[in-house]
Amino acid sequence: MRASFYRNFLKRLYPPTTTKASNSIHRIRNIMSESDQSIGFDTPRLVTKKILAKLQHEGDGAVVRRGIGRSEQKLLDPFLMLDEFSVSPPAGFPDHPHRGFETVTYMLQGSITHQDFAGHKGTIHTGDVQWMTAGRGIIHSEMPAGEGAQTGLQLWINLSSQDKMIEPRYQELLSDDIKRAEKDGAEVRIIAGESMGVRSPVYTRTPTMYLDFSLKPRAQVHQNIPESWNGFVYVIEGEGVFGKPSSSPSTAHHVLVLGPGDGLSVWNRSSKPLRFVLIAGQPINEPVVQYGPFVMNTEAEIDQTIEDYHYSKNGFEMAKFWRSQ
């Protein structure tokens, strides 16, 4: 009887832990099942900020959704701006200057005709990419080449101080020339960088990754990203789960700023296709002073740029008598 009394007494002091232990094992299994889905990542990148790219007017009657370059996310080094644009004739982006950075124009639907004061002219169509390094100075126009809405993405990438005054240059990729890869219902167009073992030939003066993913329903993808780079996602259509399986879905026209880590996992749990771009780049870590289409490192350099543009010098010489046709 005394032994029974002491057993009950000890049970009250030290209750059995079987239930708690089994719950802990259950939680560990859940954590493991989630981490198993972020294959190969020591530190999966999570979404730290979600921004809806709202409509605003730019150029001459054009409409854009600006995700990077607005008050909620002024810049994300080395990225200065991301616009999803929609232009219908006669609206567009008539003659305007740039200095100190690069523009990457990616056509989603339709065509845009580009011409500049150095005599470069061409039309980029659905799926084509124009990677323009403005460097010390470009004046150009970008106007719709067809009827109806012409849509695309334009990304602005900063240049380091040593590259801001280089000579302008272009890299242009036709849609058929952009490398692709596919695995288990996930397809990627590799505009810059590498994915699924396939690398783009585009030279990125500021090291950059630019990937266009399309995921079928129930597909998933796991993409490595250099740990020191900043990155973000822009959802073009559909909805997806980004970062970890328990995240709430993100829908079209949202920018998702990614936290630190070595890779991003994405799941399409909907019944419709998901399309998004993943963009990441190596930070420049220099001061940024921007005045509209001019991006330099100091106020004095901006003042000099305005003077150069006004007096058609130091890279803007051909602007004096040039007008787009």
Binding residues for Fe cation: 96, 98, 140, 142
Q: What beta strand segments (E) does 176-300 contain? A: 179-183, 186-192, 194-195, 198-199, 208-215, 220-224, 230-237, 239-242, 250-251, 254-258, 263-267, 274-281, 289-291, 294-296
Cα separation of 317 and 325, whole Å? Answer: 19
b/e 260-299 (16+ beta carbons within 10 angstroms → b): ebebbbbbbebeeebbbbbbbbbebeeebbbeebbbbbee
Cα separation of 116 and 43, whole Å? Answer: 44
β-partners of residue 57 are: 63
Cα separation of 291 and 299, whole Å? Answer: 9
Q: In sequence order, which residues have a C-beta less than 8 Å from that of residue 287 and are 6 or more positions away?
A: 297, 298
Q: Please report, in range form, the residues annotated as the binding site.
A: 96, 98, 140, 142
Phi-psi region of 137 (alpha: psi -120 to 50; beta: other; left: phi over 0): left
Counting every residue, how long is the chain?
325
